[in-house]
Amino acid sequence: MYNTRKITADLSWIGASDRRLALFENVYPIPLGVSYNSFFLKDEKTVLLDTVDSAVAEQFFANLKHVLNGRNLDYMIINHMEPDHCSQIARVIALYPEVKIVCTAKTKQMIEQFFALILPTEQYILVKDGDILPTGKHELTFVSAPMVHWPEVMVTFDKTDGILFSADAFGTFGAINGNIFADEVNFERDYLSEARRYYCNIVGKYGPQVQMLLKKASALDIKMICPLHGYIWRENIAYLVEKYSKWAAYEPEEKGVVIAYGSIYGNTENACEILAAKLAEKGVKNIKMYDVSVTHPSYIIAEAFRVSHLIFAAPTYNAGIFVNMENLLRDITAHNLQNRTVALIDNGSWAAMCAKQMKEELEKLKNIEFSEPIISLKSALSENQLKEIEDLADKIADNI
């Protein structure tokens, strides 16, 4: 049975949610599920904006059939060719063989790659920045957004109603639970952390490209944002844009400390607990601790984007970095984090090597200020090293 939602008189949401998927992109845990948003514009022409993941294909086709109400499909706009959105393109074409495909030249190439689908040239309307597609009452224009999140990405702007179809930008992990607009839920309390985790992990590497898109979008009179995942924004758009501006510029949102530690027998953890307590005694309030063997790196990466000060602590392992910490740090450098103050603690019962290698990894990032000296534990924090922990806490508290 169809399950569609009216967004405006002419626009409907025809997507669906998946609460069964354990790992988005086979990497990221999604305890709240995920939605795959697809949109349908009913005008003199009928327009589909993106499809969905194969997991929710049946719901999508029931929705599409309902909104078409017996009409043919005139246009299929493809903003993004990642399979969580494009998986049903070939089936749409099979059902509506006369549909015109509106996309970038790069998208056409990817359609051929993904589906071995060579369509007649005249079936495509290849668009670039500023091109206009009139559909009757509505006039659509297109803005390329390469690397937000893949190179072929574009966003579509409905000039008539001021609606930006923003592809992956402004998306959020989390299924749609009836309410479809961000203003219908307590977004800050319930979804901001998932929006941040989505952004940082999926698009975070491409800050300059996101900044470019934000600059292009600032020239548009945007009244509503329809992303490909999560809630639709029709109120307080500036709130989300401000978050994106900070994330894209790698600026911390808040003064605060995240302590990410690896610990095999609890001794490195113990040093971190004591450091956190000392920080608290010195008045630091915004402190979070994560065991890298317990918390998925995607959560810690999002937290690293959120706060100003980061402490990494880990034992030496195989003459290198404790394996889960190594994984986290590589992921952080892959995501291009910048502009943070970092302190390091390592542990080594006979040859502490970890901190040196953690530092080498983090030195790949821009504008990281290391809080020296590095604290090096010998098996466990000793009484005579408490002063080093105290000094580090002082330094971070003063800096915050």
By CB under 6 A, name the binding residues for ligand FEO: 80, 82, 84-85, 149-150, 168, 228-229
Please identify, using beta-carbon distances, which residue of 99 and 228 lies nearer to ligand FEO.
228
| Least Cβ distance, residue 168 to ligand FEO (angstroms) | 4
CA 203 – CA 213 distance, rounded (Å): 12
- Asked if 133 and 102 count as a contact pair (C-beta separation under 8 A), the reply is yes
Question: In this chain, which residue has its C-beta nearest to ligand FEO?
Answer: 82
Please identify, using beta-carbon distances, which residue of 85 and 278 lies nearer to ligand FEO.
85
| Least Cβ distance, residue 171 to ligand FEO (angstroms) | 6
| Least Cβ distance, residue 80 to ligand FEO (angstroms) | 6
Cβ neighbours around 40 below 10 Å, total: 22
- β pairing state of 23-24 and 28-29: antiparallel
| Least Cβ distance, residue 340 to ligand FEO (angstroms) | 26
Please identify, using beta-carbon distances, which residue of 138 and 229 lies nearer to ligand FEO.
229
Please identify, using beta-carbon distances, which residue of 20 and 189 lies nearer to ligand FEO.
20
| Least Cβ distance, residue 183 to ligand FEO (angstroms) | 22
Please identify, using beta-carbon distances, which residue of 42 and 149 lies nearer to ligand FEO.
149
SS (H, E, C) the chain: CCCCEECCCCEEECCEEECCCCEECCCEECCCCEEECCEEEECCCEEEECCCCHHHHHHHHHHHHHHHCCCCCCEEECCCCCHHHHCCHHHHHHHCCCCEEEECHHHHHHHHHHHCCCCCHHHEEECCCCCEEECCCCEEEEEECCCCCCCCCEEEEECCCCEEECCCCCCCCECCECECEHHHCCHHHHCHHHHHHHHHHHHHHHHHHHHHHHHHHHCCCCCEEECCCCCEECCCHHHHHHHHHHHHCCCCCEEEEEEEECCCCCHHHHHHHHHHHHHHHCCCCCEEEEECCCCCHHHHHHHHHHEEEEEEEEEEECCEECHHHHHHHHHHHHCCCCCEEEEEEEECCCCCCHHHHHHHHHCCCCCEEEEEEEEEEECECCHHHHHHHHHHHHHHHHHC
| Least Cβ distance, residue 108 to ligand FEO (angstroms) | 18
| Least Cβ distance, residue 203 to ligand FEO (angstroms) | 8
Please identify, using beta-carbon distances, which residue of 85 and 340 lies nearer to ligand FEO.
85
| Least Cβ distance, residue 228 to ligand FEO (angstroms) | 5
CA dihedral for 204, 205, 209, 211, sign (positive or negative): positive
Please identify, using beta-carbon distances, which residue of 144 and 308 lies nearer to ligand FEO.
144
Please identify, using beta-carbon distances, which residue of 149 and 278 lies nearer to ligand FEO.
149
| Least Cβ distance, residue 202 to ligand FEO (angstroms) | 6
Please identify, using beta-carbon distances, which residue of 21 and 344 lies nearer to ligand FEO.
21
Please identify, using beta-carbon distances, which residue of 18 and 84 lies nearer to ligand FEO.
84
| Least Cβ distance, residue 227 to ligand FEO (angstroms) | 9
As given in the structure block, the two tokens for residue 269 are: 């953890």
Q: Which of 212, 236, 216, 215 is closest to 225 using CA atoms?
A: 236
**Angle at Cα 21 formed by Cα 19 and Cα 27, nearest 5°?**
135
